[in-house]
Structure 1
Amino acid sequence: MPQRHARRSLVAAARTALPGRLRWTVLAAALAAGLAHAAPRDPTVYQHIGDVANHLASPPADARPMMRWWWFGPAVEKAQLAHEIDQMKWGGIGGVEIQAVYPMALDDPSRGVKNLPFLSAEHLDAVRFANEKGRSAGLRVDLTLGSGWPFGGPHIGIGDAIGKMRVAAIDLPAGASGYALPAVTEGEKIEAVFIGGGTAKEYDATRLRPLKETVAGNGRGAVQPEPAPRVAVYYIASRSGMQVKRPAVGGEGYVLDHMSRRAIDNHLANVGEPLLKAFGDQPPYAIFSDSLESYGTDWTDNFLEEFQRRRGYDLRPYLPLVFSGQGADAPALRHDWALTQTELVEDHYLKPVTAWAHRHGTRFRSQTYGEPPASLSSFRHQDLFEGEGAQYRQFSFTRLASSAAHLYGKPVVSAETWTWLRSPAHTASPLDMKAEADRMFVQGVTQIIGHGWPYSPPNAPEPGYQLYAAAVSNHHQPWYMVMPEVSSYLARVSYLLRQGAPANQVAVLLPNDDVYAINRPGKTSLSGEMPKFIQPALVQQIMDSGHNLDYVDPEAVLRVGLDRYPVLVMPNVTRLAPEVLAKLAAYVKGGGRIIAIGATPSLAPGFKDAQRITAEVKRAAAALFAAGRNVTRIGTDAELGRALQAVLPGDVQLSDARHRVSFVRRKLADADIYFIANTSNEPVSANLAFRQPRRHATRLDPDSGRLAQSALAPRLELAPYESVVYVMSDAPMRGAAPQRKTHDAAVVADLSAGWQVRFPDRAPVTMDKLVSWTDSEATRYFSGQAVYERQVTVTAAQLDGRRVSLDFGTGTPLPDSGVHAHHSGMRAMYEPALRDAAIVTVNGQRAGTLWHPPYRLDVTPFLKAGANAIEVKVANLGVNTLAGRELPDFKLLRLRYGNRFELQDTAKIAPQPAGLLGPVTLVGEAVR
């Protein structure tokens, strides 16, 4: 029975069969049961390693990577939608997130291009079709609840648009008895007026006094004249005017006010309801919201009333201090002003959208950070937590989301991944994808949301469409032939990192109250200002000491507690509520260790009753930091690693290369799972030890899921950007191969010459020396797949008792600039000798794929004494074809729709090295 109809039947039965209060009690229970039945369930989380191992060969479908599916225009047609879904399924993609964005082409019947206006009947029918087709293919289907981002559109009138306080200062010359009133336009309202000495360019906000506005007529105000010049300052609730970014045709308009329940209800009614109706009785798994990017927001219509109710005092008299930042009380007032915005986002946006999603049998997935200032604990008001940003060794939104998931008991935390990967578009390789995905995994991510998959019409020239700034990870990429293996790796790691419970040992207290106090008009954000307090050195000191970390905020301390963390780091926390300090005192008394960096709590968080609360804070902090050896104070971030090692030795201990290796641990009842990644472009060779070893160790290959017995303190050997999983368990793992060591490696044959290479629609060529395809004029701009063939003869003696591998050479590390700003263009800083993916066949049998270091493949099972046929199908990047032709001219498109996008880094488009670059060798090693 369809879920919606099932709920109706439950309601009808309760209404007719039962009387009075009991009827409504049962009715409520029936509705709850129906809704619970309708909502998707969390993936299964296992607590025992035997159960986990049962799914290593084929991880559950819910762990597969998803793709953000951009519909440009949207100008989509069903046959192509079906084709792209089939391609996703073939590539191991587990689901899509449909997002309608800006048009890429004008309507042209001759080319089959028709932009379907957002929410038109044709657009909604395409949504319905994609959902049905996706579900039938076994894909999860999510939906962005709007066009472009943030939420908004033509249904958002000026009264529901982003609120922003406008301050208008008007000069009153000496002796003036009147002045021109500020113009108040649509969507604006005067909240307060003040007067004082000075000029419109320079005045002391602390000396302004309220002015009861007197209108003299003809748009002029009246005042009593005074001999000195003065200024009248108007505080006008206004609008930022921000428009939806990258909207689809018909999706243009104002961004909504995320602090206004009316605006949210408007959006849900005019956008959410039609979209969900298109899904019929198969609602999306989740509805999605991108990061909060409501630029300029700092006010909403009923802010003064909400502030009074929540903070217990009237903000109106203090508006000059809040919006000027002048005076000793300004930080405390700004704290309360920004905190109120967080609460309004939670109460008027997150909670209502989550409740609405549940009523429609779906979930709410959101990137809950940005502007307005949502907090880490704000995540708790939604179903699915998502982050973004590969900045794993500094403050990141990714770790913000994963920390919230750890604190509030969510096994799945997703991340928008590859957003700015290897710009310009079509230049990212599977190695680049892995390098960034691994940095997501070590931050606690358990669901990759690829950014992404551009829909391309059938007649679009290769390599198809692209978002203005993003990696392209679809079937138009020549290397997509190895996407099943890429997806398998991502799914297996995602699955493993959901099991058991999070086990990070160090928590970092986010100084939310201090950050609220430094917020300023026009840009109120916790996540945006937090890096001033959580600086890269702090994160790096923790990670290089052999630990991973979670963030906590004061709200989480009160709601969840700190019992799971042996150590809490407090970085320059000066504003903190007494009740939070009481929790910290109990934590220390129970054995928890605190390391405080720099300043310690000494101020009330906010303004009301600040003198009394500040005294409480100082007393409580003094008592806390007199707690003896369980509390350590240091001066700078640079001292943190040593202080941390003194109280808690590293969870993972390496003899070398600590800054190049990162890990994350999951704790089960009978095992610990360690995902360990070389996040650098240099090989790693180091002794590895675990602070809490168990009786048995198993090495797991995350590419294949194969298990091998390991020493309890193994030697860690990782190629650049290679990763491994170690399982420390109480009992031996079933299916683990015996530990085998190799020695006496020697080259069996040099295969660096004599290859026959077949390009599509061209005669085979002989390569006496392996060179890049770009070295030849005929293939310089070729993007695609070429097949290398040759024979090699080996003897029985060369095979006997030996492991023989096909080795495609080591690459060249590039100067590593690391991951920097959000728009930095993350990439693997490494030039491999195989560009960029390969499928190897030996004697007609598929031996394996290569798409990341080490570019070495065990071919022992496929070789025979005598002649052997080697075939290597090599695929490169889509950018080479793009580099060989003129870029499209969007002049007419922009004249029709405005300039909605700029393709990123087009000046950097150039053909990239391609093919086997050598040397290629057959290497034999004795096995014992």
Structure 2
Amino acid sequence: MAQAAAQEPVAQEPVIFQRIGEVASHLAHPPADARPMMRWWWFGPAVEKKQLAFEIDRMKEGGIGGVEIQAVYPMALDDPSRGVKNLPFLSTEHLDAVRFANEKGREAGLRVDVTLGSGWPFGGPHIGIADAIGKMRVVAVDVPAGATGYAAPVVSEGEKIEAVFVGGGTAKEHDATRLQPLKSDHAQNGRGSLAALAAPRVVVYYIASRSGMQVKRPAVGGEGFVLDHMSRRAIDNHLKNVGEPLLKAFGDKPPYAIFSDSLEAYGSDWTDNFLEEFQRRRGYDLRPYLPVVFSGQGANAPALRHDWALTQTELVEDNYLKPVTAWARRHGTRFRSQTYGEPPASLSSFRHLDLMEGEGAQYRQFSFTRLASSAAHLYGRPVVSAETWTWLRSPAHTASPLDMKAEADRMFVQGVTQIIGHGWPYTPPDAPEPGYQLYAAAVFNHHQPWYMVMPEVSGYLTRVSYLLRQGEPANQVAVLLPNDDVYAVNRPGKTSLSAELPHFITPELVQQIMDSGHNLDYIDPEAVLRVGLARYPVLVMPNVTRLAPEVLAKLEAYVEGGGRIITIGATPSLAPGFKDAQRITAEVKRAAAALLARGRNVTGVGTDTELGRALQAVLPGDVRLSAAQNRVSFVRRKLADADIYFIANTSNEPVSASATFRQPRRHAALLDPDTGKLAQSPLAPELRLAPYESVVVVMSDAPLQAAAPAANTGEASVLADLSSGWQVRFPGGAPVAMDRLASWTDSAATRYFSGQATYGKQVTVTADQLRGRRVSLDFGTGTPLPDSGVHAHHSGMRAMYEPALRDAAIVTVNGRRAGTLWHPPYRLDVTPFLKPGANQVEVRVANLGVNTLAGRELPDFKLLRLRYGNRFELQDTAKIAPQPAGLLGPVTLVGEVLE
């Protein structure tokens, strides 16, 4: 393929400003590179160029800034009568479709990324057994008393015997620490031989094997083994057989980035040359200790497992992350990756990437999202993305724009600056509404009736993403990830840092920090050594017992320079690993004792629940609210002459509280993230936030010229009740009188209707009512729902709130578009559009796609599964039911006297 002349990516980098005046000049029209993107699922792939071009146009209309092309499992059998043809992955036809989509996407001004594979994780038919995920297989064979022979285990394709041990006991019960190496198993014709002994014995084989994991959800032609991420040969194989053909299809316009989903190489804990690499990296031979590592028995097991798991991290970095990043740069693109999971990549493993990505809306507990954003903050990447809305409000087609905002705001407060929507299903033109869906995801395409407000949703997401890239990150508290302790508790078949860290970084710990008025970053020992702690006034160390002396030396210098440390529970007392453990442990104990003796600069608490009080004593909250501190979250960006605070009510109840800032500047302004409009504000503003509403507070050294004077209003009063007397027009029908507002589902005629209906009504106002007032249309406050706890990844996150407007609306007054409504408060200022006398008000309301889905039978995939196997199960189909729709009321005209 044609390569870029430069070694670095050729696409333009986002512009990062350091002064608020420059930032403010782009608020009305933020840069296009901050627009949300969509993961574009190509099912089969059975795609057709005309439909690809059509969907690209719909994305552009919705304000979507780019796509990530991902080929996944087929949804239909080849059918010439319908024009359905599954194009085998990497076939000439498939690659031609990729080329076409790239060209059309570029013409429309969209960024185009591509997943470097089909389904996930990377793998496919080109991955032979020798390049598949490596996994140690341990086989214990009983040798009865007096026996001289036993049946040796069968070694299959892709396997080799790494070591054999013998000792007293049985296969079910033996002391692994007392096993002795068997120089040769003397196995011939499947039988092993030993000298006879009076007592029973066990022979234990350590066989380098394969997990056998297959690519999940593959496209036609993408089936096969998942590759070994610790093997350079496997990675080179994948780049040659998948990467090169894919990028060749892009020609001289390479993708902005190539993408890898999270590391889900289940069972991975070994690779072919592991013993040699271990010897080189750790300085001793692991072979004699295999029984301890794989049994977990004995006092040395944690230290040995630490070294074994750490070696896996280094192999993933050296053989996967570094080579793929270098390969991407040589091809004029970038590597974007969700770098966590199995094998055990670390926070600092992200440093080898161009673009860092997380996932998960768990903003008040450990999350992969904060893992990625922390790495971005530490290693200087202003753009950090998140796979957003995965499993949002299950089942599919029930997610509303409000649900989207509720989760996106939780991403933003974790430091995300680029939304990657999950996602946009390609849908053939003859598919019944509401179109295709991924088995485990919401749908955010033009098949959703509410897509008419997608430009406004995208505008909000774009403006916030743009703001949160500016200046520098400014979280004040760092939490040291106890990686060395986590390595030590890893176990065979499940080696992962990210999966074990929640046992150390508990929800209580995160909540104590956030409820103290702070936000937080994670940092790991590697980053302490490479980057340092200078940007963080406070470091929290939760039950860190294993820590290298050189890291403790950095902590000593940090405290010497004025940094404050709060330890929780146990403190450093052990060498991280096995080699020279006794000597290094003594060093750790001496260094830790010296550090802990630093008086007021180092504070110790016993439990996570004591952290908040200790933190407040050391560093008062960055943002403090007079009420509802635990329902409001924020993130701050620091500029040369200003601070930008994104503040979100992440709850389903309204919040009214005054805000105080630990480091106020001379002037303040409130920014509406929906419009980009600025209004002057006191330095301690009163925040009145509806459920799931957000605001941006800008603290600056000089007054912002773009900020309008604050509008002071008196109490609101109802000028007219508009809850009756509407004319409602559904598509293809005449207007129908609706004397009392009710859900569309209350009528048999519209129970299963998904679409848009227009409410019309004449509203009369007097000159006196308009004079000196701000007049708004108010569509009701809605009802908070009991918190179901569905806020975590893969559990159906949604806004726990039932609005009185379901689910989005465009309001027109006297023929002029007055605005859109898609999240609380469902109130719209219509003052500029009203006139004394009669006014014609029209409200075009859109609901959810699920109502149509609920009114018909789901497709039968029996023949598809007979042909291709069962590659997916649609989630939560038993929960499919029509949802309330339309204006539910009350609707009022509200006036506020301008003071």
**Structure 1 CA distance, aligned partners of 2:774 and 2:802?**
27
- In the alignment, does 2:25 pair up with 1:54? yes
2:631 corresponds in structure 1 to 660
Contact 1:380–1:408 at 8 Å: present in 2 too? yes
User: How far apart are 1:740 and its partner, in Å?
Assistant: 1.4
Matches within 5 A, 1:538-617: 538-617=509-588
- In the alignment, does 2:408 pair up with 1:437? yes
Q: Provide, for residues 70-121 of structure 1, a one-character-per-residue CA deviation record: whole Å limited to 9, x for no partner.
A: 0000000000000000000000000000000000000001111100000000
- In the alignment, does 2:736 pair up with 1:765? yes
**Structure 2 CA distance, aligned partners of 1:434 and 1:679?**
10
Which of 803, 808, 814 is matched with 1:837 structurally? 808
Which of 257, 265, 269 is matched with 1:286 structurally? 257
Matches within 5 A, 1:105-184: 105-184=76-155
Give the 3 Å change call, closer, same or farther, for CA 925–214 of structure 1 in structure 2: closer
**Structure 2 CA distance, aligned partners of 1:94 and 1:683?**
32
Which residue identity does 1:322 align to in structure 2? V
Matches within 5 A, 1:428-577: 428-577=399-548
User: How far apart are 1:648 and its partner, in Å?
Assistant: 0.3
**Structure 1 CA distance, aligned partners of 2:185 and 2:472?**
65
User: How far apart are 1:3 and its partner, in Å?
Assistant: 7.0
User: How far apart are 1:282 and its partner, in Å?
Assistant: 0.2
2:677 corresponds in structure 1 to 706
**Structure 1 CA distance, aligned partners of 2:524 and 2:556?**
16
- In the alignment, does 2:230 pair up with 1:259? yes
1:91 corresponds in structure 2 to 62
2:654 corresponds in structure 1 to 683
Which residue identity does 1:282 align to in structure 2? K
- Which SS does the other structure have where 1:526 is aligned? coil
- In the alignment, does 2:284 pair up with 1:301? no
Most deviating of 209-218 and 312-321? 209-218
Matches within 5 A, 1:340-359: 340-359=311-330
- The alignment covers a number of residue pairs equal to 899
User: How far apart are 1:41 and its partner, in Å?
Assistant: 3.5
**Structure 1 CA distance, aligned partners of 2:550 and 2:415?**
29
- Which SS does the other structure have where 2:498 is aligned? helix
Which of 195, 209, 234 is matched with 1:224 structurally? 195
Which of 64, 68, 88 is matched with 2:35 structurally? 64
User: How far apart are 1:286 and its partner, in Å?
Assistant: 0.2
**Structure 2 CA distance, aligned partners of 1:345 and 1:3?**
29
**Structure 2 CA distance, aligned partners of 1:74 and 1:198?**
55
Which of 596, 601, 605 is matched with 1:634 structurally? 605
1:867 corresponds in structure 2 to 838
Q: Provide, for residues 22-57 of structure 1, a one-character-per-residue CA deviation record: whole Å limited to 9, x for no partner.
A: xxxxxxxxxxxx223x53242110000000001000
User: How far apart are 1:856 and its partner, in Å?
Assistant: 0.1
Contact 2:24–2:706 at 8 Å: present in 1 too? no
Which residue identity does 1:239 align to in structure 2? R
- Which SS does the other structure have where 1:35 is aligned? coil
1:394 corresponds in structure 2 to 365
Which of 710, 724, 727 is matched with 2:698 structurally? 727
- In the alignment, does 2:701 pair up with 1:738? no
**Structure 1 CA distance, aligned partners of 2:426 and 2:189?**
57
CA RMSD of aligned residues (A): 0.8
Which of 751, 774, 789 is matched with 1:803 structurally? 774
Give the 3 Å change call, closer, same or farther, for CA 821–677 of structure 1 in structure 2: closer
Contact 2:152–2:187 at 8 Å: present in 1 too? no
User: How far apart are 1:355 and its partner, in Å?
Assistant: 0.4
Contact 1:661–1:677 at 8 Å: present in 2 too? yes
**Structure 2 CA distance, aligned partners of 1:142 and 1:753?**
50
Contact 1:40–1:363 at 8 Å: present in 2 too? no
**Structure 2 CA distance, aligned partners of 1:821 and 1:729?**
36
- Which SS does the other structure have where 1:58 is aligned? coil
Contact 1:429–1:836 at 8 Å: present in 2 too? yes
**Structure 2 CA distance, aligned partners of 1:744 and 1:289?**
53
1:235 corresponds in structure 2 to 206
2:852 corresponds in structure 1 to 881
Contact 2:164–2:185 at 8 Å: present in 1 too? no
User: How far apart are 1:854 and its partner, in Å?
Assistant: 0.1
User: How far apart are 1:420 and its partner, in Å?
Assistant: 1.0
**Structure 2 CA distance, aligned partners of 1:740 and 1:811?**
26
- In the alignment, does 2:351 pair up with 1:380? yes
User: How far apart are 1:817 and its partner, in Å?
Assistant: 2.6
- In the alignment, does 2:14 pair up with 1:35? no
Contact 2:68–2:112 at 8 Å: present in 1 too? yes
**Structure 1 CA distance, aligned partners of 2:891 and 2:796?**
31
Which residue identity does 2:177 align to in structure 1? T
Which residue identity does 1:89 align to in structure 2? K
**Structure 1 CA distance, aligned partners of 2:141 and 2:11?**
57
Which of 867, 878, 886 is matched with 1:896 structurally? 867
**Structure 1 CA distance, aligned partners of 2:204 and 2:384?**
47
**Structure 2 CA distance, aligned partners of 1:526 and 1:745?**
53
Contact 1:391–1:819 at 8 Å: present in 2 too? no
Contact 1:213–1:221 at 8 Å: present in 2 too? no
Q: Provide, for residues 168-211 of structure 1, a one-character-per-residue CA deviation record: whole Å limited to 9, x for no partner.
A: 00000001111111000000000000000111111110110001
Which structure 1 residue ranges, 5 or more long, are not aligned?
A: 8-33
- In the alignment, does 2:748 pair up with 1:777? yes
Q: Provide, for residues 501-526 of structure 1, a one-character-per-residue CA deviation record: whole Å limited to 9, x for no partner.
A: 00000000000000000000000000
**Structure 1 CA distance, aligned partners of 2:627 and 2:292?**
53
TM-score (normalised: structure 1):
0.96
- Which SS does the other structure have where 1:489 is aligned? helix
User: How far apart are 1:905 and its partner, in Å?
Assistant: 0.1
**Structure 1 CA distance, aligned partners of 2:370 and 2:187?**
57
1:19 corresponds in structure 2 to none
- Which SS does the other structure have where 1:310 is aligned? helix
**Structure 1 CA distance, aligned partners of 2:637 and 2:716?**
36
- Which SS does the other structure have where 2:100 is aligned? helix
2:644 corresponds in structure 1 to 673
**Structure 1 CA distance, aligned partners of 2:469 and 2:871?**
39
Most deviating of 377-386 and 198-207? 198-207
Contact 2:146–2:200 at 8 Å: present in 1 too? yes
Q: Provide, for residues 826-884 of structure 1, a one-character-per-residue CA deviation record: whole Å limited to 9, x for no partner.
A: 00000000000000000000000000000000000000000000000000000000000
**Structure 1 CA distance, aligned partners of 2:127 and 2:176?**
35
Contact 2:312–2:343 at 8 Å: present in 1 too? yes
- Which SS does the other structure have where 2:499 is aligned? helix
1:191 corresponds in structure 2 to 162
1:104 corresponds in structure 2 to 75
Identity %: 86
**Structure 2 CA distance, aligned partners of 1:525 and 1:819?**
24
**Structure 1 CA distance, aligned partners of 2:785 and 2:892?**
24
**Structure 2 CA distance, aligned partners of 1:82 and 1:299?**
45
**Structure 1 CA distance, aligned partners of 2:120 and 2:677?**
42
User: How far apart are 1:909 and its partner, in Å?
Assistant: 0.1
Which structure 2 residue ranges, 5 or more long, are not aligned?
A: none
User: How far apart are 1:744 and its partner, in Å?
Assistant: 3.1
**Structure 2 CA distance, aligned partners of 1:214 and 1:329?**
26
Q: Provide, for residues 779-807 of structure 1, a one-character-per-residue CA deviation record: whole Å limited to 9, x for no partner.
A: 00000000000001000000000000000
